[in-house]
Chain A
Amino acid sequence: MAGIDRVEIRKLAKRYGSERALAGVTLDLAAGSMCALLGHNGAGKTTLLGIVSTLVRQTGGTVAYRSNGAEVTGAAVRREIGMLAHASLCYGELTARENLALIAGLYEVDGSAAALDGALDRVGLDRKAWDRAARTYSRGMLQRLALARALLTRPSLLLLDEPFTGLDRDGALSLGRQLGALRDAGAIVVVVTHDLEAIADRADHVAILRRGQLVFEERGAYTYEQLKDVYHRHAN
């Protein structure tokens, strides 16, 4: 399979008991684009990412994943998803190399020492830490390992929830560059963030959620000032 090149979200709804998390969200995500998914806390961003990642079941609406027009389902979808969540999704008792080796095994991708080391190198994780248990890492180091884990499988759909959290300025810049490179290589990148500065000039698709509803969506490049203006006009 060539990878997911389109995600079609239609009238997506999610309720947690009597709480409405999403209400009729319709959104298209296309290959080679970076979507900044914005909104205040509780707007429904993480729920939307959860449903697109297949880890949360919607109560209404559909999400269709397409590759060259054909619908992709089940494990084939999951194979194409790279996810960076609030938590690292890495085992604290395992070292960075062991965490990546586990993922390489489950995804059946190249798990050779060279491949794993290359992945850790690309995210700038200090070499001295590669064979240390991940529980000893700082927040920033853990975030780098989480990114290496997400990118190891060369996903065509990358879902990132607050990816800049815990990273220093160099780390945030480097991550921004990598996300841009992935987008340019044809991946669908979705970034949930409150850090408008980090995502400005990189995102080419902006979607804003408010109380579970999509209140703004537009494609195009945004400077920080433009993004800030759009955010304050629609998210509040």
Chain B
Amino acid sequence: MALLRHAARVAWKDLRIELRSREIVYTMAFFGGAVPGMLWVAIALAGTIGLGRAFDRERENDTMRALLLAPVPRLAVFLGKAIATTVLVLAVAVVCAPMLAWLLDAPLFAYPGPLVLVVVLGAVGIAVIGSVFAATLLKVRSRDVLLPVILYPLLVPLFVAGTSSTSAQVAEFPNLDAAWYWIEFLGIYDSAFLVLSVWVFESLVIE
């Protein structure tokens, strides 16, 4: 419980800063608005930009060191950052999805359960995979270039699963079996990376 309490503290700190500056939401909303009909492209761009900015903030006054120095499990720092990123990516999805449904007259909300689940799992995957690499690259000078280069290949299966599941739901003849298959795939993919990230996070962030 202490781990989750500390993770929640780190996440709340990130969200509070974001609510004040609104840098990430504005940037992410721009991409969400600029690419209507491409929900997953918007989520991908929003996630990468959001991650980069959220970790850049930790670099500005070397505050990541303050978090890592705190007597809380270092895992709580990782979870806190991942939770905050998930919330921000979901906020973009909440804005983009109705826009997409309205602009393209797509039956996006015909099956709200699977849609919510696939988007949540997508956001969690981006946040988990992204947080561990963004934290690792924090001290690297060319991190802005390296982060997408490292991140996108790992996120490709996630986006394939996300778009496949969404397509199966909005097709003229919806295929819910296929939609759930990809949702299960996403669940397994997220779980595998969550376990891996939890395992390696501390050794990656200590110099």
Contact = CB atoms under 8 A, between A and B. Distances in A.
A93 to B, nearest CB: 4
Contacts of A107: 70-71
Contacts of B67: 106
Given A86-B62, A91-B61, A93-B20, A53 B13 contact: no
A2 interface: no
Contacts of A76: 71
Contacts of A102: 9, 13
Contact of B66 (A50, A86, A89): A89
A87 interface: yes
Interface in A65-119: 75-76, 78-79, 81, 83, 85-94, 98, 102-103, 105-107
Contacts of B57: 91, 93
Contacts of B70: 78, 103, 106-107
Nearest to A133: B20
Given A53-B69, A56-B207, A79-B71, A93 B61 contact: no
B6 to A, nearest CB: 6
B207 A90 contact: no
Nearest to A89: B66
- Range, interface on chain A: 20 to 34
Interface centre among B57, B73, B207 (most CB of A within 10 A): B207
B190 to A, nearest CB: 27
- Range, interface on chain B: 20 to 34
Nearest to A98: B16
A89 B13 CA distance: 14
A54 interface: yes
Nearest to B8: A105
Contacts of B6: 106
Interface string B179-206: 0000000000000000000000000001
Contacts of B62: 85-89
Contacts of A98: 16
A53 B66 CA distance: 11
Contacts of A88: 61-62
A98 B19 CA distance: 14
A55 B65 contact: yes
B188 to A, nearest CB: 32
A57 interface: yes
Given A55-B65, A92-B61, 4 more contacts: A55-B206, A56-B207, A85-B65, A90-B66
Interface of A: 50, 53-57, 75-76, 78-79, 81, 83, 85-94, 98, 102-103, 105-107, 133, 149
